[in-house]
Amino acid sequence: MAVDNKDVELVAQELKQQFEEFKTKNDQRLEAITQEKGKLAEQVETLNSKLSELDSTKAALENELAEFKRPAGGNKQASAHKEAFARFIRKGDDQGLAELEQKAMQTGIDADGGYAVPEELNTDILSALRDEVVMRQECNVITVGTPDWKKLVNKGGISSGWVDETDPRPETGTPQLGVITPVWGEIYGNPYATQTMLDDAFFNVESFITDELTQEFAEREEEAFTLGDGNKKPKGFLAYATDAKDDKARDWGKLQNITSGAVKIISADDIVSLTYTLRKVYRNGAKFMMNNQSLLAVRLLKDDKGNYIWQPGLQVGQPSLLSGFAVAENEQMPDIGDTSGKAPIAFGNFKRGFYIFDRIGIRMLRDPYTKKPFVGFYTTKRVGSMLNDSNAIKLLTIKKGS
């Protein structure tokens, strides 16, 4: 059944009711005598979790409502590639596929192994990954045809000035120019099907492959883009060096990190401080990023006037807001109580700050031998990441202590 505005409005109405009950119970918890606190705390925790469920449901319905069908199209060569690939998947017949790739100046079984999947299937897998991987939704995703992608950036200094039409162009300073490049890694998945499944004309092979590969790729990509150390994988934004200095004093390439005011806990003041650490030029489009447990914690916080700093989105298309900004839930972000020293909360314009790269061409190798009677589809793709602007993302870590 198709989703319409009424479905979203019903969820928003329930979200509002649950939030009002949540506020009432939490206020009672804060005021309660000791013996009553345990029961009220349990009720608040249940309502807090329910708010997360409703908020996620509302966002999912809005995404479905806004989704447009991709127009049909293609060309004869693409259709021929798709048909040849289907024969290769179901029967292992790769003759037609090899001929097509040679004509397209691609090699068949190359050093990486396998054949390029059809463009349509490639796109379906990447689209499914975007739905599953929060970092792909929030960051700037770029498709490239070479791993040698480079960008020239100004790491400091002045490279512009004001002149009249006939004035000479004097030197304005010495800009510190540098080249930045992505950190690449190869990710693989290996879904299995039986030959009986593949022989079944009603078995949707493309849907099976897309679903299985999305499931295998998604969690590993989320972890790499968030925490990855850059060793055989992309480098996550939390793996970059940090410094407490502001944008003018901090070395380019280091993220600014502020520390909570109290030991082991977070306050509304910490959230406000984090927000205003980001310069105004970056705030348009900025979001918080944290995991669900951190969101449950900040949802309890109030400002100095007694107002909750998290407010639910009660209109179609209106997200729930924390201190006036939307929240991206990334389950790979550390918990507030995590001892690794990594920031549990980030705030910034991730599309300006962090780039994700897809190398054109997902490749697949059919393996009917390793786990008979199952047929494996060893699939690889190259992905990369890069911190593009270290002023665009700010981090909040929790003060350590006993």
Length of the chain: 402
In angstroms, the first-to-last Cα distance of the chain is: 55
Query: In sequence order, what are the residues at sequence separation of 6 or more whose Cβ sits closer than 8 angstroms to the Cβ of residue 322?
Result: 271, 288, 298, 309, 310
> Which of 99, 53, 106 minimizes the C-alpha distance to 80?
99
- Asked if 320 and 106 touch (Cβ cutoff 8 Å), the reply is no
pLDDT of residue 379 exceeding 80: yes
Alpha carbon 250 to its chain's center: 26
Residue 251 is classified by DSSP as: P
Taking the C-alpha atoms of residue 33 and residue 348, their distance in angstroms, rounded to an integer, is: 40
- Asked if 133 and 220 touch (Cβ cutoff 8 Å), the reply is no
Amino acid 48: pLDDT? 76
- Out of 33-37, 129-133, 148-152, 181-185, least confident range: 33-37
> Which of 131, 20, 110, 118 minimizes the C-alpha distance to 77?
118
Alpha carbon 188 to its chain's center: 19
| 7-16, 41-50, 61-70, 324-333: range with highest mean pLDDT | 324-333
3-state helix, strand, coil in the chain (%, to 5): 40, 20, 40
Residue 109 is classified by DSSP as: S
- Residue identified by tokens 């996620």 is 56
Average pLDDT, the chain: 84
Q: For 163-180, what is each residue's pLDDT tens digit?
A: 666 666 665 556 678 899
- Residue 93 sits at φ, ψ, to 5 deg, of -80, 105
Q: For 206-239, what is each residue's pLDDT tens digit?
A: 899 999 999 999 999 999 999 999 999 999 999 9
Taking the C-alpha atoms of residue 13 and residue 9, their distance in angstroms, rounded to an integer, is: 6
**Lookup: tokens for 24:** 């009432």
Q: For 35-78, what is each residue's pLDDT tens digit?
A: 566 666 777 778 777 777 777 777 777 666 666 544 444 455 56
Query: In sequence order, what are the residues at sequence separation of 6 or more whose Cβ sits closer than 8 angstroms to the Cβ of residue 238?
Result: 226, 227, 333, 334, 342, 343, 346, 395
CA distance readout (Å), 242 to 177, 337, 394: 21, 19, 9
Q: For 342-360, what is each residue's pLDDT tens digit?
A: 999 999 999 999 999 999 8
- Asked if 399 and 259 touch (Cβ cutoff 8 Å), the reply is yes
How many distinct helices (H) and strands (E) make up the chain?
12, 17
**Lookup: tokens for 341:** 């020293």
Alpha carbon 227 to its chain's center: 12
> Which of 48, 65, 32, 17 minimizes the C-alpha distance to 317?
65
Taking the C-alpha atoms of residue 7 and residue 315, their distance in angstroms, rounded to an integer, is: 12
SS3 (DSSP) at 252: coil
Mean pLDDT of 138-147: 93
- Asked if 256 and 246 touch (Cβ cutoff 8 Å), the reply is yes
Higher pLDDT: 153 or 280? It is 280
